[in-house]
Structure formats: structure tokens, C-alpha cells
Amino acid sequence: MITIRELLHYFKGLGLETIDVNVNQDQVIIAPKNIMEAKEDHLTFLSRKYENELEKILAITSSRLILVDRTLLPAVTGFGQKHNIALVGSSSPKKDMIDAINHFFPEKYNVPFIDPSSIIHKSCRLGKDLLIGPHVVIEEDVIIGDGCVIEANTVIKRGSILGRNVRIKSCSVIGGAGFGYDKNENETAYQFLPHFGRVIIEDDVDIGSNTCIDRGSLSDTIIRKGVKIDNLVHIAHNVDIGDNSLVIACSMVAGSVVIGENCWIAPGASIRNGLKIGKNCTVGLGSVLTNDIGDNTTVLGVPAIELEDFKFLRKHQKQLLKSKGNDQKV
């Protein structure tokens, strides 16, 4: 039973500005909620993207405790006082709400628990406090670190290595052989290249449902610390993804790609084999990357080009289309 009083005390401890109006601080908060749907027993937040709709949003919400972007506090303080809403000023309200959720409303797993329907080879080395769901298959010589969660129907192929606190959602395949075929000039059939590499997944990696990460052919596929991979993603053989990068739904990373740390691969992006992507890069929505890019670069489009070049082309495309329309009218 978490109350507004406890949450305010927590936020004050983080050094956040709290405006304690005559709210009932014994009000129980049962969960976080979207501000449009929040009731009296919900914690919510208000970011700058709503600054042009403040009156409308505040008229809808019933929440008694709202994390607010500091720049919006002057505009909402009067409303909070009038309607007895406790406000907490934050430079990153969404982040602070996530921290509060993890502190007060942690996702609970019944660990340690290994479902009896799972199939685990006797040669595997398993850490402590694992949750392994129904019908999981773990092949020979797999190593799994402490605190991992492997959800139902996932398959972890031979020789794969998982660090600590790795979470793999349902129906994913880790460590299967990649799509490696070769055909000589005098041959009519393709020949498959056997894969001898592994998949190495470092600590604190999350992998979504229905995602495939192929083991390396002659080297290893490496997913480094803190990487987050969404649902329906394909990571091919020999790929190396740097610390704290994100690969979002329906993206495809072809073989031997190297992605630097803190990168964002947006939904539906495709990356050609053998490319190198620097640190702190963004590959935009639905983009097709065909060339290496250096650090701190944003690219988008098909084929992907740098952001400023993309804006330039779009501007002139609009002018051409407008000109074409005027010609047709004449």
C-alpha cells in the first residue's frame, strides 16, 4: 500500500521540487497511469509535449499526484492548488516516474523457478535466481548468468553465453545458424557454411519476443552490456552491438555489422552486411543503410543519407511537386 505521502518523501529525497497543497496524503496509489486516464489512485506525469494542451489535459485527469516538467510548473501550479493536486517539478518527469515505478511497483517474478516442461541439456551451466518459462529449450554447453528471465517457447542454441540479468521474451531463438551460403562459378547449387561461432550476450540485455540472433560463422555475435532489442528483430551472424544501444521492432542487422555504443536503430531499419556504425548514431525509421557512418551521425531515407542532406532533398522535392502542380493547372 503506497501513499502519496511516501511518494512525495521519495521525490524530495531525489532533490525534486514538490508543491504540497491540501491533498490527502493518505491517498493510496495503486499504479502508474497515462495522464488522460489517471484516477485519484494513480501516479502520472506531464511532459513538455503537452504544453499547448494543458487546460484540456488537466480538466480530464483525476490524478492527485503529477510529475510535471519544471518549465510547466508556473502554468499548472494554480490549477494544482485549486483542485488539491500535489505537483512534483522535474527536468525529466518520465525518467523520474520510471524510477519511482521500479522502486515502488517492481515487476515481480516467481524466482527462482524452472518450469518442468522446459528442456535443459545436462552440460549447461546455470546461475542463481533464474526464471525459465514453459517449453523453453536450452541446448548443450550454454552458460546462463544469475538473475536471467527466459520466457516461454524460447530456444537457446548450443554454446550461447548469457550474462547476468538478461531477459529474453517469448518465442525468440538465440544462437541459431545464420544464412551463410556460397556458390563457385562452376557450381549450380549453393553450399552452406557451417557456423562455429557463438552468441555472447552481456549483462542487463533485454531481447523482445520473436527475435532471432544468429551465432557467428567463424567469429562470435556479441550483444554488449545494456543493449535493448525489441520484438521481431533479426540480428545476423558476427554482428557486434555496442553498450546501451537500442534496436527497435522489425529492424534487420545483416552479417558482420559493428554498431557503436549508445546508438538508436529505429523501427523497420535495414543495415547492409559488413558496415560500421559509430557511437551515438541514429538510423531513422524505415531507413536502408548502405554505407559506414561515423560517430554522432543521424541518417534516414532509402538509401540512408545524413539528416541535413535529407532535409535539403525534401525541401527541393516539395518545390518540384509544387511547380509540377502549378504547371498542370496552366
Catalytic positions are 237
The rounded distance, in Å, linking the Cα atoms of 55 and 271 is 44
CB 297 within 8 A of CB 311: no
Look up residue 185 and give its amino acid: E
Coil, strand or helix at 329: helix
CB 257 within 8 A of CB 275: yes
- Residue 101 phi/psi, 5-degree rounding, is -60, -45
- CA pair distance 111, 265, nearest whole angstrom: 32
Is the CB of residue 25 less than 8 Å from the CB of residue 40? no
Distance CA 164, CA 143 (A): 10
The position carrying cell 551472424 is 237
**Other Cβ atoms closer than 10 A to 107:** 8
Contact between 154 and 136 under an 8 Å Cβ cutoff? The reply is: yes
Give the torsion through C-alpha atoms of 17, 21, 25, 30, to 10 deg.
-70
* Residue 11: CB atoms within 10 Å: 22
Residues with Cβ < 8 Å from 227, sequence gap 6 or more?
A: 202, 205, 206, 241, 242, 243, 244, 245, 246, 247
